[in-house]
Each structure stands twice: as structure tokens, then as C-alpha cells.
Amino acid sequence: MNTVGHLINGQIVNDAARLQDVYNPSTGEVSKQVALASKATVEQAITAAAAAFPEWRNTPPMKRARVMFRFKELLEQNAERIAQMIGEEHGKISHDALGELQRGIENVEYACCAPELLKGEHSKNVGPNIDSWSEFQPLGVVAGITPFNFPAMVPLWMFPMAIVCGNCFILKPSERDPSSTLFIAQLLQEAGLPDGVMNVVNGDKEAVDTLLSDERIQAVSFVGSTPIAEYIYKTASANGKRCQALGGAKNHAIVMPDADMDNAVNQLLGAAFGSSGERCMALSVAVAVGDAAADALIEKMQAAMQALKVGVYSEKSNDFGPVITKAHQQKVVGYINSAEEQGATIVVDGRNPQVAGYENGFFVGGTLIDNVQPEMLSYKEEIFGPVLQVVRVNSMQEAMNLIDAHEYGNGTCIFTRDGEAARYFSDNIKVGMVGINVPLPVPVAYHSFGGWKRSLFGDLHAYGPDAVRFYTRRKTITQRWPSASMREGVSFSMPTMK
């Protein structure tokens, strides 16, 4: 059986002391094993990165950017192969996997702008014969810890920008679907990146805790569940590291009475059920304002969901695939059961989908639940599955209060034709990413991604302009070259321009 190893100092390393099974979630069968890095293996990667840093730090930004240009081309040339790897280990349908990769490539394109992004600021004559300027210097060795649901895109949020800013990188991807992430890192080596600048260590908590405690790691970026995000942030911060930790979500869509209901339904279908709902930006709650809007939404959603196709990743006509593991399948079904037990109405039941030829796969069908109440467990917690819940309210303000009261503040949207309502909503809602008739308001690569409240721990968002700030330190230099004719005497007062 094949074993997925680590990439350390440009070489594949097989640390076979501990192995974990990797499943094909469409079949429910073990497809390979992944080596789980020991503390010593992670330290080996950190040592390699630390050794590579001085030379990479002093490599001109234009040369760093050229590596990214070649990397982008290699990603595009190998897109189908990467999508297949994602499908085999995650279950994501090929068209969805290609979309994930494209969003990642767009972050590489942004990283290609390094010479512009890293330009400092300069001021001449801030005082008599005194010039001042700032520059952005790399941190050193930095780390990223990424989730299973986007094995290509989320790592590409992190390491291209970190590396192009002059840092060396240690990536700890999800051990559930490691192959595409490791292959992408090998493409970066092929693009001309020097050995040691990019390293990949597969592993579990032992690897994570080593990254969080090793004093050579200067910064940690994380995407995952809120309990782990909080642990990562507190531990990294306690060890003196810069940290951004993106956590969970419970994304709401307000459906106003004046909404284009057919458009809202089409948008909600993709936003709720795409990628089996395993997205931190998935729309899992529709808040319908008024019973008339709720009834129309339920009627149209129920009819539209009859055409949803769940199945294997390789069949492009399928809309979404399985969830990642058997345990997660049972967890999602448990949330549906709890909603029913607590009085909600199961309108479309996806608990027992039939996928011919893949009876042992980890499938959950599209599920629609009406009459959900805020006190229900399925409303409070992130389901992370193909489940859309409908909450009925009497006004837009009640809907906004509901959203603001939730512990998560990742993404939200509103469906309406009323510009005044849309502007009030976007100005006042306490959520980090907002859509107006856009159900998945994921910022493009030249903006930054991040939520509010317990969806983000740290001050800076992921990728885009915030990534430059996260992966660099500002240094300000003030200089004077005094001439003999303008030499000043001693002064003990604070320098000013008065």
C-alpha cells in the first residue's frame, strides 16, 4: 500500500514509525496510508527552513516572483491530476475541485506582484537633511496548519505569499487528504524554489504542538474548527509567535419578502450543498422574513432539490459527493436527528441516500429543515454537511438580531431588491464577510478573507493585503548625513518640526 511521506529540504522523507489510513470517501475503503511526523521529523523540517532562510531572505523580490510565475503555470498544467487527487481523498466532484484550485491559483497570481507589494514608503526631508523610509522585512520560518475541506486552496492562501515575502515555510496539511497538498508542494520545487524554503510535514497533534512550541517558528496561520483555532491562537501567542487562526462558521442568508425567489433558490442550492456543505462559507441557515416568504422558499427549494445528484467525484454530472469520513457522516446525521427530535420539520430528508455501486461511501443527501429555532442544537453548532435549515422571523431587524447573537461571524448575505435595506444590512451586521444577492461572499485574492467574533482569532485576515502585513515586519529607517557647515549642537529636547 502506498504511503504519503513528508517534503523536507527538497526530498521526500518517509517517517514510518506511525501510519494512519487515508480513505476514499466514495467507496469507504482505505486507499493509502500517511506517515505521521514525529517531533524529531518536524524539527528536521524547521532546521532545513532555518538554514535556507538567510539566502532566500536576500533573494530579490523579482526573482522570488519569477518562481511564482512558473509555479502558476505548473498548477494549471496539472489541474486535472490535482482535481483527481482531491476527489479520491476528499470526495469533491471534479468541477468543484477545479474551482477550488482556481481560487488558489488566483492567490499565486497575487503573490507574483511581490515587487510592488513589498515596496516601502519614503519621505525626504522630514527634518533638516533628514530622510525617513519604511520597508517590509520577512519574519523567518513560519508555519501553516490547514484543514481537510480545501487541501489545495487553503494552503495556497498561505505559503505563496509567505514565501514571496522572503520567509521559509512549514506546512502541516490535513492527514485525511494529504496527497494533493504534497504534490502541489513538489510542483513549487519544480518551479525552481531552493531546497528548504518550502517543507511539508504530515501529522497530528504531535506535529502541531511542535510547531507551536519551537522558538524558531515566528508565525502560525491556521484554518479549522473554532475550538482548535482558539487552542492554536492561545498556545502560539503564549510562545511569543504571531498568529492568525480562522475558526468555524454559521452563515445565514436573509431572504426578504421582495427577493427574487427563483434566483435566491438557485443561489442557495449551490451555497448550501456545494462541496457537501463542507465549507466554512457554506450557507447553512436561511432566515425567511415573514411566513409568505418562508412558504415560497420552502416550496421552491423542495421542488428544486429533487434534481440534486449526490455521488462519486469522477462523474461530472453529480452536484456534490460524500463527506470526509464515516464518523463525520454519522455526526451530520446526528444533527438532523436532533433537529427532528427538538420539533423541527424535515422537509427533504438526506439521511439515507442511495448511490448505486457506492453503497459503503460516506454519503449524506441534501437535507432541508423548516421551523428551526435558535435554541436547537443543530442551529447553535456548525453542521458542516449538506443541510439547509430555515428559521422564520417577522422582520429584517429580527433576522439581523438573530445573526448578531450567534457566536460565529464569518459570512452572511441578504436576498432583496431593496437598496436601502441592503445598505443598512451591510453597514450594521456584525459579520466579517457580507454578500448582497451573493451567497458566498468569498473575497477575491487581492482583498482579504476573515470573519468576526469566534470565527477569527488574531488581528489580520488571510491572504490579500493583510497577508503582506502578517508575513512581514515593518522597519522604519531615519537617516541624516550632516555637512560640516550645518553641524548642530547638543539638544536634550524631544526632536520636533515646530
Query: Residue 124: enclosing H or E segment and its boundaries?
Result: strand 121-127
| Residue whose C-alpha cell is 518517509 | 14
Q: How far, in Å, CA of 261 to CA of 286, rounded?
A: 12
For cell 453503497, what's the residue?
359
> Which of these is catalytic: 112, 165, 168, 280?
280
* Residues 112-147: b if buried by 16+ CB within 10 A, e if exposed: bbbeebbeeeeeeeeeeebebeeebebbbbbbbbbb
| Active-site residue flag, 280 | yes
Q: Which residues pair with 285 in a beta bridge?
A: 252, 389
* Secondary structure (3-state) at 108: helix
Cα separation, 185 vs 203, in Å, equals 16
Q: What 3-state DSSP class applies to 326?
A: helix
CA dihedral 155, 160, 162, 165 (to 10 degrees): -170
Tell me if 171 sits within 8 A of 207, measured CB to CB: no
194 CB-side CA count, 13 A: 20
Return the HEC string of 148-198. Answer: CCCCCHHHHHHHHHHHHCCCEEEEECCCCCCHHHHHHHHHHHHCCCCCCCE
The catalytic residue positions are: 280
